[in-house]
Chain A
Amino acid sequence: MKSNSKGFFVLKIVAGLLIISITMAVYISQLNQMVTHNMLNTISELAHHDKRSIEAFIETSWDELEGMAQRFATYRCETILEMETRMNLECATSDFSHIYLLAEDGKIYTDKYVVYDPAQDTLDRQVDLRPYFSNGEDRVVTRWDDKAEAAGMSREYVLYGVRLEDFEVDGIKMRALIGLSDTNTIQRHIVLDSFLKDGVRRGYCAVVSTSGEYVIGIQKTLYLNEVNNFYHVLSAGTYAELTNEQIAQKLENSETFSFHYTDVDGVGKLLYFTPFDGNIDWYFMMVVESRAFTERSQAFAILSVAMLVIVMLVATLLLLALTASHYKTVQAVARAKSQSEFLSNMSHEIRTPLNGLIGLNHLMMTRIGNPGQEEQVKDWLRKSHSTANYLLSLVNDVLDMSKLQAGKVDLISEPILVETLVDAIWSMQRDNIESREVQFVVEQEIPVPCVMGDSTRIKQVLMNIVGNAAKFTSKGGCITLSVSQEKTDETHVTTIYRCQDTGVGMSKEFVERIFDAFSQERNKNSDSVKGTGLGMAISKLLVDAMGGEIRVESELNVGTVFTVSLPAEIADAESEYADQCFPQMLAEDHPAHPGRPVKVLMAEDNELNAEILMDILTDEGFEVVHAENGQEAVRRFAESSPGEFDIILMDMQMPVLDGCSAAMEIRSLNRPDAKTVVIFACTANTFKEDRDRAVESGMNDFLAKPIDVNVLLNKLSAGGASTSPNTSTKF
Chain B
Amino acid sequence: MTITENILCSKSHEYLLKNDDETYTIGLTDYAVEQLGDIVFLELPEVGVSFSKGDTFATVESVKAASEIYMPVSGKILEVNTVLADTPELLNEDVYEKGWLVKIKATGDGSEQDDLLEYEDYKEELE
Q: Do A and B come from the same complex?
A: no
Interface of B with A (CB < 8 Å)?
none
Chain A contact residues, CB within 8 Å of chain B: none
